[in-house]
């Protein structure tokens, strides 16, 4: 049985404390995070930088597709690709995350959620923390738009305030839902009205791992890709190897649980180290 079912876990949302010394967020953004469970939009990269992010992803996607993987499989490349490591450790991103998580945190995963043109897969309504084999709900996700994202090409939707209701029941998704993941929260809209996150390439949203979110299929002729960067505090414990490709951003972990990746990968080959694709 998966440890998610058996390990004791604390699924309470942890707000940003009122006395946190801020270096990147405004006090309005802090209030929004605590009240709504997310902050958006946040501009991280200019047009030229966003174009670079896109061409780096195009390269990764082509590498995965040439091995028969689909567009959702580009996962955990921070351990093998310098370009993804550079995003994870980018000071503009880590300053924002530090304002939320404090002085001790790591990035444990990266995953490109890429809906190709006319892509039929949805992402069913869910909260992240109950999905993951972690001891506490203390991950913040930076969802970085690689492409322009709007209503036409399946922007992600979130339900403000749903991070405060605790872990909602999830069931296995049904085949007709066409879920790119595997669990579904039923009747999510009982928790409030969904808000679409419309982002230009280079902008991001920051969201709590207790926030309800999901996305529809992409009926348009435009690709919709976002890179999720997942950061958590160092007091969290992960099971099933989900800590193994983590990068400590601030602080240190004498226990050795976090920080499996200790140096910037020299190359851009996602399969260079021969390890299987990560699960996160």
DSSP state of 92: H
Rule CB under 6 A: is residue 231 a binding residue for ligand AKG?
no
Q: How far is the CB of 161 from ligand AKG (least distance, A)?
A: 18
Q: Which is nearer to ligand AKG, 123 or 234 (CB)?
A: 123
The alpha-helical segments, DSSP class H, found in the chain are 3-6, 27-36, 47-66, 82-88, 91-101
Per-residue 3-state assignment (H helix, E strand, C coil) for 235-251: CCCECCCCCCCCEEEEC
Q: How far is the CB of 206 from ligand AKG (least distance, A)?
A: 11
By the 8 A CB rule, do 87 and 110 touch?
yes
Rule CB under 6 A: is residue 149 a binding residue for ligand AKG?
no
Torsion angle defined by CA atoms of residues 144, 150, 151 and 152, in that order, rounded to the nearest 10 degrees: -120
First to last CA, the chain: 18
Which of 226, 259, 265, 270: binder of ligand AKG (CB under 6 A)? 226
Rule CB under 6 A: is residue 123 a binding residue for ligand AKG?
yes
Q: Residue 47 corresponds to which tokens in the numbers above?
A: 């047009």
Q: Which is nearer to ligand AKG, 162 or 259 (CB)?
A: 162
Q: How far is the CB of 256 from ligand AKG (least distance, A)?
A: 27
Q: Which is nearer to ligand AKG, 180 or 247 (CB)?
A: 180
- CA-to-CA dists, residue 137 to 225, 257, 258, angstroms: 25, 17, 16
Q: How far is the CB of 115 from ligand AKG (least distance, A)?
A: 7
Q: How far is the CB of 92 from ligand AKG (least distance, A)?
A: 19
Q: Residue 138 corresponds to which tokens in the numbers above?
A: 């203390």
Q: Which is nearer to ligand AKG, 139 or 259 (CB)?
A: 139
Q: How many residues bind ligand AKG (CB under 6 A)?
A: 10
Which of 128, 147, 203, 244: binder of ligand AKG (CB under 6 A)? 128
By the 8 A CB rule, do 124 and 173 touch?
yes
Q: Residue 220 corresponds to which tokens in the numbers above?
A: 């348009």
- Could you list the residues that contact ligand AKG (CB under 6 A)? 113, 123, 128, 141, 143, 156, 213, 215, 226, 228
């Amino acid at each position: 049985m998966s440890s998610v079912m058996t390990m004791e876990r604390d699924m309470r949302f942890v707000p940003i404390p009122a006395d946190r010394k801020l270096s990147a967020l405004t006090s309005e953004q802090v209030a929004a995070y605590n009240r709504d469970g997310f902050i958006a939009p946040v501009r991280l990269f200019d047009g030229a930088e966003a174009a670079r992010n896109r061409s780096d992803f195009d390269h990764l996607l082509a590498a995965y597709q040439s091995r028969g993987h689909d567009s959702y499989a580009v996962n955990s490349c921070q351990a093998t690709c310098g370009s993804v490591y550079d995003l994870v450790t980018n000071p503009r991103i880590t300053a924002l995350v530090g304002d939320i998580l404090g002085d001790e945190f790591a990035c444990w995963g990266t995953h490109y959620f890429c809906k190709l043109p006319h892509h039929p897969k949805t992402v069913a309504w869910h909260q992240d923390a109950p999905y993951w084999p972690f001891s506490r709900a203390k991950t913040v996700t930076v969802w970085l738009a690689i492409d322009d994202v709007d209503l036409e090409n399946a922007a992600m939707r979130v339900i403000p305030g749903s991070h405060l209701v605790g872990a909602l029941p999830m069931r296995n998704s049904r085949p007709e839902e066409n879920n790119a993941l595997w669990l579904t929260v039923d009747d999510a809209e009982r928790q409030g009205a969904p808000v679409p996150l419309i982002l230009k390439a280079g902008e991001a949203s920051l969201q709590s791992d207790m926030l309800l979110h999901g996305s529809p299929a992409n009926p348009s002729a435009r690709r919709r890709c976002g890179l999720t960067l997942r950061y958590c505090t160092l007091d969290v414990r992960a099971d099933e190897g989900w800590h193994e490709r983590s990068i400590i951003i601030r602080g240190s972990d004498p226990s050795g649980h976090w920080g499996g990746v200790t140096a910037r990968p020299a190359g851009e080959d996602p399969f260079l180290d021969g390890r299987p694709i990560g699960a996160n």
